[in-house]
Structure 1
């Protein structure tokens, strides 16, 4: 009986995404500007450039979820109005003021990442589940460690780090558990889980490409063609 129940149970999309992207996640942490940032060798200018190029990605996720909020597949995720686009805009304004720099540029890799998400929002939008997993669950998990690292290594304060502050939504541990459950519900309702898993790998590839591009831009190297 237990075997029958196990076979009929829907597979965990969150677990499958974790397994599929584990190696890519490690690669992302060891590559480009993200690697510099995690070992405390980043810069305020670099962090601002990274945020500028993540902004369109978050905007596409949030716009896509809003368009699909009445879709039974994505309704559990659309219920969470995490609104990170607005927090990135606030952080960028504070960083530009703090650094005395101009607004950092949008790189081709940032544009490509946003296009990838826009394409994932097409059809029933279920591939957005992979990007919500990568970005939002990432912000609620490792992002909190990154926040403390940026406070220590770059001297950033509350005004520059609102991206990692979810207190207006819910208590962090409760929000993380709730959002993970919403991802599971969305994944279980999706008609093609394998497409979501493949999209998760693509999301990490976009992040790695962007991290390398940010590092090259800071070094004054030409964009890779």
Structure 2
């Protein structure tokens, strides 16, 4: 009996497959115009607040999906309360935009597409949830700390305004990331689910890159450059 050919993602651990498959997209996100200008300290704090506003909609959807999947036998393994970001984002936005911050933010079209995709795949599929969960939270625990240092060193923001990147319930981010990857690798995925996690993670990166692209087009100081 002939066996189906192995897919490249079946030959390594899931965490390795994800890291390898998303490397190029991760680099493109980091080199996007918005992130380049932000990391250079060239944007105003108001322009950073626009990013935080878009993230509010993204994390509202992602964390709603995580709650919906909490009792799923596979997806529920990733319902890790210490990663929850929405309260921190809300506090940051109240600091950055004032008490009326909820009426001061609107999702960009790219953000709407991002959230729509999560609603389509992350509320009833462990692979769909984990793809978006991995893409966002491990990025926050790693590269997101660069933004945290930027907010401190360039804008003098260390507490309110930068809480999104502070994980008070995680004492060792590096160890946590290692544990998270071990959880990815030890979970009982089917081959099809493993491939879905990788493919959806790639799409998550593209959706995020689109948000960054629209932000760059929406910010006056970049329009004038």
Identify the TM-score tier after normalising by the shorter chain: 0.7 to 0.9
More divergent stretch after superposition (46-55 vs 102-111)? 102-111
**Maintained 8 Å contact 2:57/2:107:** no
Corresponding position of 1:4? none
Determine helix, strand or coil for the equivalent of 1:72. Answer: coil
The answer to whether 1:112 aligns with 2:113 is yes
Report Cα offsets for 1:196-217 as digits up to 9, x if no partner: 1111111111111101111111
Determine helix, strand or coil for the equivalent of 1:192. Answer: helix
Corresponding position of 2:4? none
Determine helix, strand or coil for the equivalent of 2:160. Answer: helix
CA RMSD of aligned residues (A): 2.5
Corresponding position of 2:52? 51
Question: Which stretches in structure 1 are left out of the alignment for 5+ residues?
Answer: 1-8
Corresponding position of 1:152? 153
Query: Whole-Å Cα distance in 2 between the matches of residues 85 and 182 of structure 1?
Result: 23
The answer to whether 1:216 aligns with 2:203 is no
Query: Whole-Å Cα distance in 1 between the matches of residues 179 and 24 of structure 2?
Result: 26
What is the CA-CA distance between 1:75 and the residue it aligns to?
2.2
What is the CA-CA distance between 1:154 and the residue it aligns to?
2.3
TM-score (norm 2): 0.84
Query: Whole-Å Cα distance in 2 between the matches of residues 221 and 107 of structure 1?
Result: 16
Corresponding position of 2:13? 12
Query: Whole-Å Cα distance in 2 between the matches of residues 10 and 65 of structure 1?
Result: 29
Corresponding position of 1:189? 189
Query: Whole-Å Cα distance in 2 between the matches of residues 118 and 185 of structure 1?
Result: 26
What is the CA-CA distance between 1:81 and the residue it aligns to?
4.3
Corresponding position of 2:168? 167
Corresponding position of 1:123? 124
Question: Which stretches in structure 2 are left out of the alignment for 5+ residues?
Answer: 1-9
* Residues 127, 64 of structure 1: alpha-carbon distance in 2 compared, 3 angstrom cutoff: same
TM-score (norm 1): 0.84
